[in-house]
């Protein structure tokens, strides 16, 4: 029986570097307080997604990653 190893398939052939993703997350979090409650929640959720993506990009790139982002 053959064993298949699954690897993540990038959706973008040129993924953004981890630092750029983190900067975008910080920007979204900074804008959130100035928005209405629904849109602010959406901005914060997207910022969390970007932080997780930055963590994974750094991990796959072999960067020195020290802990996963908080949920």
Which tens digits make up the pLDDT trace of 37-46?
A: 999 999 999 9
**Cβ burial, residue 71 (10 Å; 0-12/13-18/19+):** exposed
> Whole-model pTM above 0.75?
no
Domain boundaries, the chain: 18-61
Which tens digits make up the pLDDT trace of 6-57?
A: 565 556 555 558 888 989 999 999 999 998 999 999 999 999 999 999 888 8
């Amino acid at each position: 029986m053959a064993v298949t190893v699954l690897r993540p398939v990038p959706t973008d052939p040129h993924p953004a570097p981890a630092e750029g993703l983190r900067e975008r997350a910080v920007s979204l979090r900074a804008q959130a307080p100035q928005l209405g409650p629904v849109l602010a929640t959406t901005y914060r959720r997207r910022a969390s997604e970007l932080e997780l993506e930055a963590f994974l990009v750094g991990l796959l790139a072999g960067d020195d990653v020290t802990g996963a982002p908080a949920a």
